């Protein structure tokens, strides 16, 4: 009876609701496992809210923590965290398709439609199974290579078993743009900031993970030939390069960091959350740049968050195009449809709304916290970054719930959440059109 009701609900439910429900279900299951004593070190006990916060942060690949993972969870707990990060980064639906494929079962139409919704693809996309297989192969291959390199780097600090254990966790965390580490204490990667190979490997994993699976597939399929790339891939390459280079230069000019640390911060700001330099030591200007980079985030169909590089690109292009008077909306010899700019405006508006409301709620709940610290925390949660100036553990119960919801909305997507909450039929009539004054 229950199985029949579930199957009926699954068939009739909108994809947006199923995607949202899937993420929430994994978060709750992860919270329960992390809350059990079997996941925690001897003498350590955390509340269910703390476990829920950690699980949400892992599934939403954020990295904000209210307890130090390395000093809280045992081997089983760390494995649970790594699995939650992997599921969250690749996506609940993609992991479900992967399990269906390895068991030899057929991927049904409903699962395919969920994959399209979860990856924000257009309905006309074909070869979905091949795309899913390619994403899985790319993910595990890059994580394996990254784990080997990181393990060799960490042999300088740990015995072989510990070194490669940390390396596997870091590779999964970095590629999925999670920002988690399981080192003892809360110094993140600061003790290893002078290890060039280690830091560059972390940034490489973060960049590839935040690049976007479809863009990676397009690059591999066309063997790095620029002219054959689709427009979306070209925009991703352009924006990623622009943000990484400009962020590095600005951080170098506005802080006393080395070029390596500036590059690391520019990369990490776009949804990874590791730290090689304390964010609390940033000047107000440098912190503002960091917040802007966090809000923009990674690229579509990636493990990263934020409003995405293509969104800010579309908004900027539309602003300049409209100001020029010709309104061509073209780039790289291609004209972009008007609907894309409407979608970009929607994503930007909802994203900004989440950040503003979250900041107001926490400011009202804890007036003793500074505005820049709260804004950093909220943007970090929404953009699934994980960077903080150090106030996460001081948040009260209400503020923690606000951050939990910000992380969930940021990972699932503002538009997906909005579609999941919409109830009722579409409009049946149209009204007379009339203009309003703007600007």
Domain presence at residue 111: yes
CA dihedral 425→430→433→439, nearest 10 degrees, is 0
Domain count, the chain: 1
Q: Is residue 6 part of a domain?
A: no
Q: What is the DSSP letter of 40?
A: B
d(CA 54, CA 182) in angstroms, rounded, equals 13
Tens-binned pLDDT, residue by residue, of the chain (439 aa): 555 665 565 556 566 677 778 888 899 999 999 999 999 999 889 999 999 999 999 998 888 888 888 889 999 999 999 999 988 887 766 766 666 666 666 666 656 666 666 566 655 555 677 777 788 888 889 999 999 999 999 998 899 999 999 999 999 999 988 888 888 877 778 888 888 999 999 999 999 988 888 888 888 888 888 888 888 899 999 999 999 999 999 999 988 888 988 999 999 887 888 877 788 788 888 999 999 999 999 888 888 888 999 999 999 888 887 776 655 677 787 888 888 888 888 889 999 999 999 999 999 999 999 999 999 999 999 998 888 888 888 999 999 999 999 998 888 877 676 665 555 555 556 777 776 766 6
- Helix (H), strand (E) counts: the chain: 19, 2
User: Does residue 102 sit within a domain?
Assistant: yes
Distance separating alpha carbons of residues 390 and 253, to the nearest angstrom: 24
* The pair of three-digit structure tokens given for residue 202, joined into one six-digit string: 């972390």
Residue 435 within any structural domain of the chain: no
Cβ atoms of 302 and 213 within 8 Å: the answer is yes
- Report the predicted TM-score, pTM, of the whole model to 2 decimal places: 0.84
Q: What secondary structure letter does DSSP report for 227?
A: G
Structural domain containing residue 198: 11-417
- Per the domain annotation, does 2 fall within a domain? no
Task: Please check whether residue 437 lies inside any domain of the structure.
Answer: no
Tokens of 147: 């784990």
Task: Establish if 135 belongs to a structural domain.
Answer: yes
Backbone phi and psi for residue 75, each to the nearest 5 degrees, phi listed first: -60, -45
Determine, yes or no, domain membership for 431. no
């Amino acid at each position: 009876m229950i199985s029949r009701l579930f199957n009926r609900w699954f068939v009739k439910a909108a994809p947006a609701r199923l995607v949202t429900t899937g993420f929430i279900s994994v978060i709750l299951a992860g919270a329960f496992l992390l809350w059990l004593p079997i996941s925690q070190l001897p003498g350590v006990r955390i509340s269910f809210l703390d476990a829920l916060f950690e699980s949400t942060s892992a599934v939403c690949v954020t990295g904000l923590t209210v307890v130090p993972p390395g000093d809280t969870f045992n081997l089983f707990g760390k494995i649970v965290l790594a699995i939650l990060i992997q599921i969250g980064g690749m996506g609940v639906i993609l992991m479900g398709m992967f399990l269906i494929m390895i068991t030899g079962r057929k991927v049904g139409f409903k699962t395919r439609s969920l994959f399209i919704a979860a990856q924000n693809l257009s309905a006309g996309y074909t070869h979905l199974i091949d795309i899913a297989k390619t994403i899985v192969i790319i993910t595990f291959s890059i994580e394996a290579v990254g784990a080997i390199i990181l393990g060799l780097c960490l042999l300088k600090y740990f015995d072989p078993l510990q070194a490669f254990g940390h390396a596997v966790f870091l590779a999964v965390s970095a590629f999925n743009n999670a920002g988690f580490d399981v080192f003892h204490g809360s110094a993140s990667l600061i003790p290893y900031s002078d290890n060039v190979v280690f830091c560059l490997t972390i940034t490489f994993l973060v960049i590839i993970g935040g690049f976007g699976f479809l863009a990676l597939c397009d690059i591999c399929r066309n063997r790095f030939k620029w002219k054959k790339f689709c427009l979306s891939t070209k925009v991703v390459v352009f924006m990623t390069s622009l943000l990484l280079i400009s962020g590095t230069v600005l951080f170098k000019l506005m802080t006393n960091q080395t070029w390596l640390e500036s590059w690391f911060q520019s990369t990490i700001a776009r949804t990874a959350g590791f730290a090689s330099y304390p964010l609390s030591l940033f000047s107000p200007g440098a912190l503002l740049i960091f917040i802007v980079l966090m809000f923009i985030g990674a690229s579509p169909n990636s493990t990263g968050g934020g409003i995405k590089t293509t969104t800010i690109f579309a908004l900027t292009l539309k602003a300049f195009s409209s100001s020029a008077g010709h309104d061509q909306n073209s780039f790289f010899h291609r004209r972009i449809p008007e609907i894309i700019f409407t979608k970009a405006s929607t994503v930007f508006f909802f994203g900004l709304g989440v950040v503003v409301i979250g900041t107001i709620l926490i400011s009202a709940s804890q007036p003793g916290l500074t505005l820049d610290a709260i804004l950093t925390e909220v943007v970090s949660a929404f953009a699934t970054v994980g960077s903080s100036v150090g106030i996460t553990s001081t948040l009260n119960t209400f503020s923690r719930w606000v951050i939990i919801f910000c992380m969930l909305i940021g990972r699932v997507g503002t538009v997906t959440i909005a579609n999941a909450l919409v109830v009722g039929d579409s409009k049946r009539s149209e009204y007379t059109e009339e203009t309003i004054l703007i600007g």
